[in-house]
Structure 1
């Protein structure tokens, strides 16, 4: 039993090393320029061992994105527990997400494309690894319970649409070289989503 525990710990350490080497190489060389062989060599493992932990290179990015979403979830939960207004919490989460995305501009397109992967299984895995819509749902649920949200659209659909808006805004900003700050673009998109197109 003890040896199994030790083996599991060794596997976790190996995975963590592969992950860190991969992210460092993506940041230094660019995602497209980094190969699985480069990552394996940097982590001192075989190419086959890399694929045992990550079935494709993009899977490393899913771990990276998952860490970001987890931090956003923790921030949102803490702020809601402090009694902060949900819309303000959503804006804070969007600002933090913009900061993270802007810092690693070159990693946004491959991560976003993985969510849009034509292989349904890979797209499903990406969606499950990056539950941004669940963070949005956590924030908006108090408003739904208070009857402050429209009722002709389910909360789940509403949150999925808001999360998708982030994805497309960040992807367009990253891929097409917008000069405007991502934070500004994201907050405008969020405001549009929350207020709609009609003048009141």
Structure 2
């Protein structure tokens, strides 16, 4: 390996470590002082970087939350793949995924509303970036695919569309719960919503 390649590799590792430090500091500050009460300047100062350096890594404060959301989605996908490989029925896996996500959202209740709002950002580019960072519908599609292949899911709608509708419903129910609260725990709210959605998604005439 040439010295130039060594230097390039070193710089990349330094950038990765700096980004990880900024991310971890930001998440800690969000949990301590709230998302709205934490500024980019606060994050930069606590990370020992300049404000400009912060924006080099995260063009806007909400982008930090997209990294957090991506980590959650990766864990969900890994869990889904593991449980399906173990032979757990797809419907049970879907409810397990739902419960796991609800527990995460309830535990980090203050982080969810700004993260969800980013998916609905009026700026199309930011909304698209958020949607790509939070592929819940892809996890749902992964879990439902065995049922679709067995003919247990209606065929007049694509599996992708059904998965998108289920993921979108999670987003809206969890957002309302996080922002306004209800008497029900989030897990119960999500199980109720999922049950209603599956009533419409599953075929009642059996596989053909």
- Shared fold (TM-score greater than 0.5)? yes
Deviation, 1:111, is 0.3
Bigger radius of gyration: 2
Out of 44, 49, 55, the position equivalent to 1:45 is: 49
TM superposition shift of 1:151:
0.3
Question: Could you report, residue by residue, the CA deviation over 1:80-133 in whole angstroms, capped at 9, with x for unpaired residues?
Answer: 001111010000000000000000101111000000000010000000001000
Aligned counterparts of 1:179 and 1:5: Cα–Cα separation in 2: 53
Question: TM-score normalized by structure 1?
Answer: 0.97
3-state DSSP of counterpart to 2:87: coil
Is 1:94 paired with 2:98?
A: yes
Corresponding residue of 1:17? 21
The 5-angstrom pairing of residues 101-120 of structure 1 reads 101-120=105-124
* One of 179, 182, 185 as aligned partner of 2:189: 185
SS in 2 for 1:105: coil
Greater than 2 Å deviation, 4+ residue runs = none
- 1:196 Cα deviation after fit: 3.6
Secondary structure of residue in 2 paired with 1:34: coil
Equivalent residue in structure 2 for 1:169, among 160, 168, 173: 173
SS at 1:106 equivalent: coil
Whole-angstrom distance in 2 between the partners of 1:172 and 1:132: 18
Q: TM-score, normalised by structure 2?
A: 0.94
RMSD: 1.1
State the alpha-carbon separation in 2 of the partners of residues 80 and 94 from structure 1.
Answer: 15
1:144 to 132, 148, 158: 148
Report the counterpart of residue 131 of structure 2 in structure 1.
Answer: 127
What CA distance in whole angstroms lies between the structure 1 residues aligned with 2:182 and 2:52?
39
Measured after TM superposition, the shift of residue 177 of structure 1 is 1.8
Residue 58 of structure 1 pairs with residue 62 of structure 2: yes
- Give the number of equivalent residue pairs: 198
Task: Report the equivalent of 2:163.
Answer: 159
Where does the alignment leave 5 or more consecutive residues of structure 2 unmatched? Answer: none
Work out the CA distance in 1 between the residues paired with 2:58 and 2:29.
15
